[in-house]
Amino acid sequence: MSDFKGRHFSRDIILWAVRWYCKYGISYRELAEMLLERGVTVNHTTLYRWVQRYAPEVERRLRWCWKPGWSSSWQVDETYVRVSGIWMYLYRAITKEGHTVDFYLSRTRNQKAAKCFLGKALRSIEPHQHPKTINTDKDRSYTPALASLKKNKVCADNIVQRQVKYLNNPIESDHGKLKRLINPVRGFQSMKTAFATIRGFEVMRMFRKGQFAHWLYGRGPLAEVRLVEEMFTV
């Protein structure tokens, strides 16, 4: 069965809209105006439903392409995202080369959340691709979280945790570039909608960072379009 069965618009238009929203940091109303200029009349609430339905699906289907290979070190940090008027915590990890490893949205910032995120990131790749070192900030929750994961054999005992602030400067910069996409949203209404949208933002950031370079046929936006559409080809 087609993923777009019952929709009033074609697959190409829907994926086109979802890509634009997740890539350029615009509002749904602005996106509706841009589509109208190109002869496509669609309500901003419909665009919202498209993003909620297909942005996570784009990230899921491309996951086997964007997962980075081995890197000697990861940088782990969290940033803030407003959900229903309350600040939530977006845990993120990148490699030394700047490639995104994984991300996780949490209501809390504690040992349990740190363990869930690190466990998710480590389990998402093969054990032989685990880093030698993980650099974190001074948050005390990471040390017992990593110790627990080692005890449960999720990762090797020889992974070293470092807490050197300046080494996390690249991920702080990466947070800022992601927040430029998040800020036009002006807050999410629920954890579900927040994480669904952020999954779309993250995957489009990965295109900019070159994480799909090996899988693209050609260069530029058209190559990105082809790769996304291929993932939805029946």
Residue 24 tokens read as 């350029």
Q: Phi then psi for 102, rounded to 5 degrees?
A: -170, 175
CATH number at residue 134: 3.30.420.10
* Judgement on whether residues 27 and 43 belong to the same structural domain of the protein: yes
* Judgement on whether residues 141 and 226 belong to the same structural domain of the protein: no
pLDDT above 70 (res 214): yes
Closest Cα partner for 231 from 40, 6, 49, 11?
Answer: 11
* Judgement on whether residues 140 and 219 belong to the same structural domain of the protein: no
* Judgement on whether residues 84 and 46 belong to the same structural domain of the protein: no
The stretch 104-108 carries a mean pLDDT of 97
Average pLDDT, the chain: 93
* Residue 1 maps to a domain: no
Q: What is the pTM of this model?
A: 0.93
- Over residues 187-196, the pLDDT tens digits come to 899 999 999 9
Least confident of 5-14, 35-44, 82-91, 134-143: 5-14
pLDDT above 90 (res 166): no
Residue 217 tokens read as 């046929």
Q: For the chain, what is the domain count?
A: 2
* Judgement on whether residues 110 and 132 belong to the same structural domain of the protein: yes
Of 153, 178, 203, the residue that ends a domain is: 178
* Residue 185 maps to a domain: no
* Judgement on whether residues 155 and 92 belong to the same structural domain of the protein: yes
* Judgement on whether residues 85 and 136 belong to the same structural domain of the protein: yes
* Judgement on whether residues 82 and 133 belong to the same structural domain of the protein: yes
The Cβ-side half-sphere exposure at 178, using a 13 Å CA radius, reads: 28
**pLDDT classification of 1: cutoffs 50, 70, 90:** very low
The stretch 21-29 carries a mean pLDDT of 95
Integer Cα distance of 60 and 142 in angstroms: 27
Domain extent at residue 43: 11-67+190-231
Characterize 74-93 residue by residue with b for buried, 16 or more Cβ atoms within 10 angstroms of its Cβ, and e for exposed: bbbbbbebebeeeebbbbbb
More confident residue, 154 or 5: 154
* Residue 4 maps to a domain: no
- Over residues 43-102, the pLDDT tens digits come to 999 999 999 999 999 999 999 899 998 999 999 999 999 999 999 999 999 999 999 999
Residue 151 tokens read as 């005890």
